[in-house]
Amino acid sequence: MPKVIYVSANGAAREVEVPVGMTVMAAALKNGVDGILAECGGVCMCSTCHVYVDEKFFSKLPPAKDTEEAVLDIAAEERQPTSRLSCQIKVTEDLDGLIVRLPEKQR
């Protein structure tokens, strides 16, 4: 099963095994990873699951859709070049070892 590594704002890393097809957001909630709120429940509406994707993996992700681009603009913490909404990242075998850094605040 692919692994996703969540790195909190203070640098603490947490490795989670994620079934293929589950989103990075849902896996965080399911495994009690602090720092991802997902207030809208994963429908690309609220930006509280904002993550900074490690550069090595960023290019492997399908590009963000217009709605995600728009919602990223309202994220609580400043948007960076590798910002994504974790509710829009579905885990695949190809993403095994995916590293996402969590912003200090989500709202």
Site residues for another protein, 23-62, by CB under 8 A, read 26, 29-30, 32, 34, 39, 41, 43
- In a 3-state reduction of DSSP, which class is residue 36? coil
CA distance 95 to 97: 6
Among 92, 85, 55, CA closest to 69 = 85
Pick 36 or 99: Cβ nearer another protein: 36
CA distance 33 to 18: 13
Pick 26 or 99: Cβ nearer another protein: 26
State yes or no: residue 63 binds another protein (CB under 8 A): no
Q: Which residues bind another protein (CB under 8 A)?
A: 26, 29-30, 32, 34, 39, 41, 43
